[in-house]
Amino acid sequence: MDVQVWQAISMIVYLVAMVWIGFAANRKTEDLDDYMLGGRRLTPFVSALSAGAADMSGWLLMGLPGALYVSGLVESWIAIGLTVGAWLNWKFVAPRLRAYTEVSNNSITIPSFFGSRLKDSSNLLRIISGVIILVFFTLYVSSGMVAGGVFFEQSFGMNYYVGMTLIAAITVLYTLVGGFLAVSWTDVVQGVMMVVALVLLPIVGIMALGGPAELFAQVNQVDPKLLTWFEGGTPIGIISAVAWGLGYVGMPHILVRFMALTSAHEATKARRIGIGWMITSSLGAVFTAFVGIALFRQDESLLANPEGVFIALGQLLFHPLIAGFMLAAILAAIMSTVSSQLLVTSSALVEDIYRAFSPKELAPQQGVWLGRVGVLAVAIVAAVLAFQRNDTILGLVAFAWAGFGAGFGPTVVLSLYWRKLTTAGAAAGMVVGAVTVFVWKLGLNPLGGIFKLYEILPAFLLNLVVAVVVSLLTYKPNAEIDGEFDAALVGAQQ
């Protein structure tokens, strides 16, 4: 049987399974709270793998192995920064956010939490943060659709537009039908596929090479610098790479997994599962790159695109059916991120922007259908952008990560740990954080030169400083806020 036929069978099995999960989740979706947050009944295992799969995207299977293949261990600093950032996020943000969002008007989105936490009667915080989510995540979703189209084009020779439409249609279908539960359950399947692929491939590759000693000997023979942590890097570059970890505290599609846990106490179990998954997957990506270096780098004509090292090894080392499921793991990584971002963007449109202007209470099924309309609307706009196949959209991934991390991160931390945060302080901080990301990205930072840091770091710090200073200038004691703050503290410790 032809290789592509075997791989197509793997893809069809995977895609049909995703749609089936979406319809299964639909039976448990009755109102907007179910559709956007799964009724706050995610287990630690589902929450942990869902957060990991939604976070990593195709970067874990293509971008990271490709960078390591070219430059060696110096490229692993981003993975280190992300792992540390994820651990801190699970440890210090997850339990308190889970407790506080329930105490404060049962908030089901990050913008609605900001508004309720700070008793913002003007809805300014909900509108500002909702618009930020709507704009950045629409572009983010579009970048995922572009990646899906390119994936089908490179893997199967399929027309880019057909591949992009296929990935968009299936992802939108199960998200539209099943909402948050469908996204979370499919994320679990996708997360398992990713980690199994990243463990299995390097193990088989190392065995084929003759063992770990032979692997490192061959990598060292290609270039000893590939096995060093600092060679080829600069202090500013390494700091910028590690600073990626700051982004986690501001990622709405990650934070919503914390809010959906069955209880704050479950965050500890989820943290251990999630970080275990992340470390295992990252190490798998590192060894995948090393196996690729040993097999392909001595004759670079064997691998034209370094980001295809995972695909090339899968096709070299496994039966086409198994290699097809490894290709499906890449598709899973792309789809898990797109579906999560699609749902969060829809929630911002419905729960934050719509409700800010319409105080009328929605009936349960009205909320679900309005959420579905939001998913479809965002998907259509994102697909139109993706049809342009604009490479700058893919470049916005790092930009959007900085925007969310610096725009929301300090506000999330201060909301949970500092009772004196005010509406004015939060609003000013978010605006300064977002604007600084734009200014820094455009190369207009006043420091220039050696201070060309990744924009998330200066923007995050400026947001934090401005929010604290403005809050101290505008703070007035509020018994209701203090009561909720204390109740959330107790809830997080139970």
DSSP 67-79: HHHHHGGGGGHHH
Q: What is the CA radius of gyration of the chain?
A: 22
Angstrom distance (rounded) from CA 485 to CA 427: 19
d(CA 184, CA 32): 16
Assigned domain for 469 exists: no
Residue 125: inside a domain = yes
Angle at 391 between CA 386 and CA 392, to 5 degrees: 100
Distance CA(130)–CA(117), nearest Å, equals 16
HEC string for 383-401: HHHHHCCCHHHHHHHHHHH
Whether residue 150 lies inside any domain: the answer is: yes
Half-sphere exposure at residue 441, Cβ-oriented, CA atoms within 13 angstroms = 18
Say how far apart CA 368 and CA 267 lie, in whole Å: 27
Is 487 inside a domain boundary?
Answer: no
What CATH number does residue 57 fall under?
1.20.1730.10
Count of C-beta atoms within a 10 Å radius of residue 184: 30
- Each residue's pLDDT, cut to its tens digit, for the chain (494 residues) gives 677 777 778 878 887 887 787 777 777 766 666 666 666 777 888 888 888 877 777 778 877 888 898 888 988 998 999 999 999 999 999 999 999 999 998 888 888 899 999 999 888 898 888 888 887 777 778 877 887 887 777 777 778 888 888 888 888 877 777 777 777 888 888 888 888 889 999 999 999 999 999 999 999 998 888 888 887 778 888 888 899 899 999 998 889 889 888 888 899 999 999 999 999 999 999 999 999 999 988 776 777 778 778 888 888 888 888 888 888 877 777 777 787 777 777 777 776 666 666 666 656 566 666 767 777 787 888 888 877 766 554 456 778 888 889 999 999 999 999 999 999 999 999 999 988 988 887 766 555 544 568 889 999 999 999 999 999 999 999 999 999 999 999 888 76
Return the structure tokens found at 48: 């942990």
Residue 474 belongs to some domain of the structure:
no
Question: For the chain, give me the number of helices (H) and strands (E)?
Answer: 21, 0
Cα(275)–Cα(40) distance, integer angstroms: 21
Taking the CA atoms of 140, 144, 150 and 151 in sequence, report the sign of the dihedral they define: positive
Q: How many domains does the chain have?
A: 1
C-alpha distance across the termini of the chain, in Å: 58
> In this structure, is residue 333 part of a structural domain?
yes
User: To which residue do tokens 């192995």 refer?
Assistant: 65
H-type alpha helices, 423-455: 423-441
Of the candidates 334, 356, 466, 396, the residue with the CA atom closest to the CA atom of residue 14 = 334
Locate tokens 């679900």: which residue? 368
How many CB atoms lie under 10 A from the CB of residue 453? 17
Model-level pTM? 0.85
Range of the domain at 235: 3-394
Q: Which helix (H) or strand (E) holds 373?
A: helix 364-387
Distance, CA of 106 to CA of 438 (rounded, Å): 33
What tokens appear for 385 in the block? 């952008």
CA distance 197 to 438: 37
Q: How far apart are CA 406 and CA 402, in angstroms?
A: 6
Q: Which amino acid, residue 56?
A: M
Distance CA 270, CA 274 (A): 6
The pLDDT value recorded for residue 421 is: 96
- Give 42's strand partners: 261
Q: Report which of 302, 337, 318 is spatially closest to residue 10, judged by C-alpha positions.
A: 318
483-489 contacts at long range (C-beta below 8 A, 24 or more positions apart):
484/100, 484/103, 484/104, 484/117, 485/100, 485/419, 487/99, 487/103, 488/96, 488/99, 488/100, 488/103, 488/104, 488/416, 489/96, 489/99
Tell me the angle at which helices 309-317 and 267-296 cross, rounded to the nearest 10 degrees.
Answer: 80
* Widest pairwise Cα distance in the chain: 73
Measured CA to CA, the distance from residue 160 to residue 146 in angstroms comes to 8
For residue 445, tell me if it sits in a domain: no
